[in-house]
Amino acid sequence: MVLLDTKVLVENATRAYQDADYKNAANLFGEAASVFKTQGNDLDAAEMKNNQSVALLQAGNAQGSYDATRGTAQIFFAGGDFRRQGMAFGNEAAALNALGRLDDAAQNYRLAADALEKAGEDQLRASVMQALAGIQLRKGKVMEALLSMQLGLAGVKHPTLKQKILRGLLRLRA
């Protein structure tokens, strides 16, 4: 019965997010995280906290977003889930970026990229490296940003058309 209730709670949270009702989605994801935690399911609880973090960031609550995701990457690491660990570091970095804590955000994007590389998630890693490059550009570090973009695209096995064009442009720079 509890498993079914949790499934409905997650479905309702997802539906609220898809309907752009971010505050409601964040509340529902938070409730789901509490239920999973009570059941001793730390990995699913951490995933719900990350979903809550994304919803809170969309709702304009960067501090709440940061608070929701903080510490979840370590839970995924302990569970051997590098993909979700990388996504958790990425969510934390996005919240830190929104809070204006650019150095902390950049560090978390690097950690996200490392975990996603271990997970074999080349497209997600490329997105993270692009976000890192954006921070580096904002800080006036153009060469570092170009290197981050190159490193992010270098590992992509099946690049999109946009990524192929960007690779070509980066080669011209060299």
- The predicted model gives 83-111 an average pLDDT of 98
Phi first, then psi, for residue 39 (nearest 5°) are: -80, -5
What's the pTM value of the predicted model, to 2 decimals? 0.88
- The predicted model gives 30-54 an average pLDDT of 97
Phi first, then psi, for residue 100 (nearest 5°) are: 80, 10
Q: End-to-end distance of the chain based on CA atoms, in angstroms?
A: 60
Tell me, what's the pLDDT at 51?
Answer: 98
Vertex 6 angle, CA 70 and 89, to 5°: 20
The Cα–Cα gap between 49 and 57 comes to 12
- Give the least confident one: 11-20, 96-105, 150-159: 150-159
